[in-house]
Amino acid sequence: MRLNDLDERIVHALAEDARRSYADIGAIVGLSAPAVKRRVDRLRAEGAITGFTVRVDPAALGWETEGFIEIYCSRNTSPDAIKQGLARYPEIASASTVTGDADAVVQVFAADMRHFEQVLERIAGEPYVERTKSVLVLSPLLRRYSAEAPPA
């Protein structure tokens, strides 16, 4: 599935403000409101757009501490084994296997530093994890798209 330039500009306008009216978006991309709606409907039907969500200040929800944990696994650990192991942690927002020194990078939201440390220790204690290296987020600068898991 390929999206054209118009579709991408519509998605970009929605990424900035998902509650913008179709007329507003149309003014930005140069289409009428119904034309924009038709395209958005099509993008949803095709699965390119999977939904609309609210951006929240994590602190307001009590999740003050964000960080990335790099995971170094023991040999012969399959990506699926990592996935199964990490799926149990509600604090994990995203996880990916990566190139470079580490095997996987995990994004974690915790209530506070103590909570973050607990999560870190539990992950470090997983049987397939050899060691970890963590990086704390100081301040979030941009938080634009909300990517969803691809169909498994």
Residue 88, binding choice from DNA, a copy of itself, none, Cβ under 5 to 8 Å by partner class: none
Decide: is 59 part of the binding site for a copy of itself (CB under 8 A): yes
C-alpha distances out from residue 52 to 19, 21, 68, 95, 112, Å = 9, 13, 25, 21, 28
The 69-88 site mask, x for binding a copy of itself (CB under 8 A), equals ----------x--xx--xx-
> Where does this chain touch a copy of itself (CB under 8 A) — which range of 28-36, 99-107, 112-120, 122-130?
99-107
- Cβ proximity to DNA: between 24 and 64 the closer is 24
Decide: is 140 part of the binding site for a copy of itself (CB under 8 A): yes
**C-alpha span between 38 and 6 (Å, rounded):** 12
Q: Which of 3, 28, 35, 81 lies at the binding interface for DNA (CB under 7 A)?
A: 35
Q: Which of 105, 115, 128, 132 lies at the binding interface for a copy of itself (CB under 8 A)?
A: 105
Q: Which of 26, 29, 91, 120 lies at the binding interface for a copy of itself (CB under 8 A)?
A: 91
C-alpha distances out from residue 144 to 11, 12, 78, 81, 152, Å = 11, 9, 31, 30, 24
Exposure on the CB side of residue 152, measured as CA atoms within 13 A: 6
**C-alpha span between 129 and 75 (Å, rounded):** 10
